[in-house]
Every structure is written in C-alpha cells, then in structure tokens.
Amino acid sequence: METLFERLRALDSTTLADAGKELRVMDGGLRPVALSRKLVGRAVTVAANGGLLPVLDGLERAGADDVLVIDGGGSPPALAGELFASEAHRRGLAGIVIDGFCRDTAELRRIDLPFYARGCVPNAFGPGTAPGAAGPVRCGGVGVAPGDVLVGDDDGIVVGTPAELEAVLDAAEALQVTERSILAGIRAGDSLFGRIERINGGIRFTDG
C-alpha cells in the first residue's frame, strides 16, 4: 500500500480523474481549508447523525495514513475544529474530509493536515447519539467505503478502491508527463495546437 500511496502523492487529482473515468470524484462544494496540501490515504468512515460522538469514535479508530471521512449531511453546525484536527495530526492521520462544516479555521490553517469541508461556522453540534457500526457513507455526492483510497489537492478529491487506482496508475503517470511536457513547451513559446490530435470527434495530447 505504501508504494501505491507514494505514486499517488506524485499525481494531480485532475490527471488521475482524466486517466480513470470510472473513479469517483467528490463534488466541488468540498473545499480545502488550506491550499497546497496533498491528501492521500485510506478511508475511515463516520456517519455523524447530527452529533460529535460518532466523529470522536471515528477519530479514535483512525491511525497513520488514514483519512477520516465524515458524512455530516452537508449542513451546519460544525463537526470538527482545532481540537479534533490537532489530535488527528498527532495520530498521524492523512487528513479529514467532512461533508458538512468545520470551525476554528485560523488554527486549522496552521495545522499541517489536509482538511476539507463545505464551509465554516462558529457553532458546533452537540454530542448526539452513540456511534453505530462503521460502514459505507455518502460524502461529497459519492459513496465511500472503509478502506477506499482518497487522493486530494486544491482541485478536489478523487476516490477509488486500491485495485481501481492501481489499474490506472501507469496511464495517469504517462498522461502527467505528457501534459507537463506540453506546458513547458507553451511557456517556451510553442503552440498548444501543435500538440493536439483530433480523433473521432475527440482530442488527444501528444509528446511532440
């Protein structure tokens, strides 16, 4: 798994999504609290059910290289802030993704932990109900199961099983090399149109 994670950390979410059309892409309403932080890790899922106790339970279950994925129903109040994020960082988590809201954003930007949410509010949910069994959740408009892998950056989050991501790695890496070569050429004065082939109503970028 570590080799998979290392290769995924070198890939942009956009390239991964282009190479793996069957991969799940969370909707654009989930945004990083701080930019330029790479998210790669295994999903530990939580159905918040309108309370903090299930989130706390998920955080206690999570460890190194895990991403806490919280189905918060997409609405405020907040389900995590500086205390939960600080503990996640201490435990070595790879990140937190909330389909809902957070708070303490000034401190969240200081913590070196990828953190995604729909927005921020000052008030938080109460304890809520006791946590249920861990299982699949809905987050960012897609299904996420325990053990799925999330890859995120400033553009958003891509989700797949380890096998799904392994299957597209080579293609994604080759595409990223091609795109960066084209970008370097454009910056040097070459035309983009000299690197495009139109095939069957579509387009394909070429190395030269």
Give yes or no: residues 28 and 69 share one domain: yes
Same domain, 118 and 36: yes
Based on the domain organization, do 104 and 12 belong to the same domain?
yes
**How many angstroms separate the CA atoms of 119 and 27, rounded?**
14
Ranges of residues in the chain whose predicted pLDDT is under 50:
none
Based on the fold, state whether residues 136 and 65 are members of the same structural domain: yes
Q: How confident is the model at residue 203, as a pLDDT?
A: 77
CATH number at residue 96: 3.50.30.40
Summarised one tens digit per residue, pLDDT across range 20-34 is 999 999 999 999 999
Distances in Å between the Cα of 178 and the Cα atoms of 3, 102, 150, 162, 183 are 22, 38, 24, 24, 9
Supply the pLDDT for residue 208.
61
**pLDDT tens digit sequence for 80-117:** 999 999 999 999 999 999 999 999 999 999 999 999 99
Residue 188 domain boundaries: 166-205
d(CA 24, CA 15): 13
Claim to verify: residue 127 and residue 173 sit in the same structural domain: no
Count of the separate structural domains present in the chain? 2
Task: State whether 81 and 53 are in the same domain.
Answer: yes
Whether residue 43 is found in the same domain as residue 76:
yes
| Same domain membership, residue 139 and residue 184 | no
Phi, psi of 88 (to 5 degrees): -60, -45
Same domain, 110 and 154: yes
- Residue 195: the pLDDT is 82
Same domain flag for 48 and 7? yes
